[in-house]
């Protein structure tokens, strides 16, 4: 493989990995505080792209405005889902909330199918990002460089919130011991809503950037990336934001590089994530940066 090819693959992997990481953050934060796999998170990712699509094509907004509004709207959706489908089940057995999450996911996918039909729509694009440029002998989309930058900035900002602000402290406290945190006077439901908002906003950013790279959007586009992002979260250590990004990058590099070196395996691409999952669950279920959750006898 030539150096040019390798560089191209490298940046593609970096981009894909950071997108997985952004989505994974939403999963890991929600699981950290609620011990719930938010099956609907992948569909949140999908919804953000439709918000941009309709913002630009229906309401004739400038692209950047539509993108920002989409992030806000998607965050609101995340809060709404928690309020309607998860909050009533806070004290129910965990499986109930899980089944509810699955139900919400199918509901969102199919209601979008009903309203938007399954015909893939073209995502409105920001021209400057998607015109190929040449760096030496390497041909690259500016997008591929911008995405990791944006993603890492967002993660850095999130880590700042988590470790330097009061709500962030509350989030970390809840993930350690929800009952005690409640007894300390923290308004649990507000913090949980905030968590969903942040996670959904991250997923929205990821969705918009994803659709810039793969511009056909459809109601089921969030399913596979959603699963893969969750796997990334598990690999990195569920509950850890840094772990989520690490896991996302690992997965992104795995996917791109394995296909790059063994093109014959490209049909199995989607299975890599799941093989990685099985390996991690078998070898180190708590993930790379995770902690063990003990059961008191």
Partner 1 sequence: MNAGTKTILNITALAFLALFVHWAQGGLDGYKVQVLNLIAVNIILALSLNLIYGYTGMFSLGHAGFMAIGAYVCAILIIPAAQKEMMYILQPIIWPFSVMRAPFFVAVLAGGAAAAFFGLLISLPVLRLGGDYLGIATLGFAEIIRVVFTNITPITNGALGLKGIPGYAGLTWNYFWCVLSVYIIVKLLSSNFGNCLRAIRDDEVAAKAMGINTFRCKAVSFGVGAFFAGVGGALMGSLITTIDPKMFNFQLTFNILMIVVVGGLGSVTGSVAGAVVITILLEWLRFVEYTVEIGPWVIPGVPGMRMVIFSLALLFIILYRRRGIIGGYEFSWDDLGRLLRRKGADK
Q: Which segment (109-117, 134-142, 166-174, 239-247) binds partner 1 by CB under 8 A?
A: 109-117
185 touching partner 1, by CB under 8 A: no
99 touching partner 1, by CB under 8 A: yes
Q: How far, in Å, CA of 181 to CA of 165, rounded?
A: 16
Say if residues 48 and 208 touch (Cβ distance below 8 Å): yes
CB of 46 to partner 1, least distance (A): 14
Q: For residue 79, which of 198, 199, 193 has the smallest C-alpha distance?
A: 193
By beta-carbon proximity to partner 1, the closer residue of 136 and 264 is 264
227 touching partner 1, by CB under 8 A: yes
Q: How far, in Å, CA of 223 to CA of 244, rounded?
A: 18
Q: Which segment (123-131, 170-178, 179-187, 267-275) binds partner 1 by CB under 8 A?
A: 267-275
Distances (CA, A) of 288 to 33, 115, 232, 240, 284: 19, 41, 10, 10, 7
The residues with which 216 forms a beta bridge, in sequence order, are 122
CB of 15 to partner 1, least distance (A): 23
DSSP letter (8 states) at residue 132 = -
Say if residues 218 and 119 touch (Cβ distance below 8 Å): yes
By beta-carbon proximity to partner 1, the closer residue of 60 and 296 is 296
Q: Which of 1, 64, 95, 132 is in the footprint of partner 1 by CB under 8 A?
A: 95
Half-sphere exposure of 64 (CA within 13 A, CB side): 3
> Who contacts 65 (Cβ-Cβ below 8 Å, separation ≥6)?
55
Say if residues 227 and 42 touch (Cβ distance below 8 Å): yes
118 touching partner 1, by CB under 8 A: yes
By beta-carbon proximity to partner 1, the closer residue of 15 and 273 is 273
- For residue 282, count other CB atoms closer than 10 A to its CB: 8
Q: Which of 234, 235, 249, 251 is in the footprint of partner 1 by CB under 8 A?
A: 234
Beta strand spans in 86-230 (E) = 121-122, 133-135, 138-140, 216-217
Half-sphere exposure of 185 (CA within 13 A, CB side): 1
CB of 264 to partner 1, least distance (A): 10
Q: Which of 128, 130, 149, 275 is in the footprint of partner 1 by CB under 8 A?
A: 275
Name the token pair of 131: 């015109």
Q: Which of 4, 7, 9, 35 is in the footprint of partner 1 by CB under 8 A?
A: 35
Q: Which of 88, 120, 176, 177 is in the footprint of partner 1 by CB under 8 A?
A: 88
- Quick note: the x/- pattern for partner 1 over 45-84, rule CB under 8 A, is ----------------------------------------
Q: Which of 96, 153, 190, 216 is in the footprint of partner 1 by CB under 8 A?
A: 96
Provide the binding-site residues for partner 1, judged by CB under 8 A. Answer: 31, 35-37, 85, 88-89, 92, 94-96, 98-100, 102-107, 109-111, 113-114, 117-118, 219, 223, 227, 230-231, 234, 267-268, 270-271, 274-275, 277-278, 281-282, 285, 295, 297
């Amino acid at each position: 493989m030539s150096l040019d090819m390798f560089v191209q693959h490298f940046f593609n992997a970096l981009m894909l990995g950071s997108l997985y990481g952004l989505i994974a953050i939403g999963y890991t934060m929600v699981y950290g505080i609620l011990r719930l796999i938010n099956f609907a998170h992948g569909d949140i990712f999908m919804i953000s792209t439709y918000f941009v699509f309709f913002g630009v094509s229906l309401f004739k907004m400038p692209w950047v405005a539509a993108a920002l509004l989409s992030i806000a709207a998607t965050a609101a959706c995340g809060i709404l889902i928690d309020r309607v489908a998860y909050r009533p089940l806070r004290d129910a057995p965990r499986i109930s909330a899980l089944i509810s999450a699955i139900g919400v996911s199918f509901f969102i996918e199919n209601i979008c199918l009903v309203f938007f039909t399954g015909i893939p729509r073209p995502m409105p694009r920001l021209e400057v990002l998607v015109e190929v440029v040449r760096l030496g002998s390497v041909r690259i989309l500016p997008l591929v460089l911008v995405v990791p930058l944006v993603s890492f900035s967002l993660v850095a900002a999130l880590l700042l919130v988590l470790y330097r602000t009061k709500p962030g402290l509350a989030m970390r406290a809840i993930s350690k011991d929800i009952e005690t945190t409640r007894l300390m006077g923290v308004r649990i439901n507000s913090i949980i809503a905030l968590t969903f908002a942040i996670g959904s906003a991250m997923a929205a950013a990821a969705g918009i950037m994803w659709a810039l790279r793969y511009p056909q959007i459809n109601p089921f586009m969030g399913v596979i990336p959603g699963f893969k992002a969750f796997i990334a979260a598990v690999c990195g250590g569920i509950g850890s934001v840094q772990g989520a990004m690490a896991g996302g990058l690992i997965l992104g590099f795995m996917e791109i590089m394995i296909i790059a070196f063994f093109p014959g395996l490209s049909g199995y691409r989607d299975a890599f994530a799941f093989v990685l999952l099985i390996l991690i669950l078998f070898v180190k279920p708590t993930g790379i940066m995770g902690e063990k959750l003990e059961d008191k006898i």
